[in-house]
Amino acid sequence: MLRTVFISAIATLMGATALFAGAASTSGYFKRQPDVASVEIPVEEIAGDCVVQSRWVSDAGRMVKVDRPVCY
């Protein structure tokens, strides 16, 4: 009886480990993060209230930060 409980506990532990390892692999947890490149856009002198907006875009699988001036 004790042997059956021990084998069942080990099988349950192995199943849970496989489940979590599969979920981590699918979500990309084990993959290296890609390098991030930053692109600077020159800001022209424009009268008024200007700010620089930044956003991240995907470029061929890489995330690239794009800055652009916005004047109101």
The helix/strand count (H/E) of the chain reads as 1, 3
Check whether 46 has a pLDDT greater than 60.
no
Closest CA to 54 of 43, 45, 34: 43
Q: Could you identify the residue written with the tokens 């061929």?
A: 60
Check whether 7 has a pLDDT greater than 70.
yes
Mean pLDDT, the chain, whole residue set: 80
- The one-character DSSP state at 15 is H
Domain ranges of the chain: 1-31, 32-72
Phi-psi region of 12 (alpha: psi -120 to 50; beta: other; left: phi over 0): alpha
The per-residue pLDDT for range 49-65, each reduced to its tens digit, is 778 888 888 877 788 88
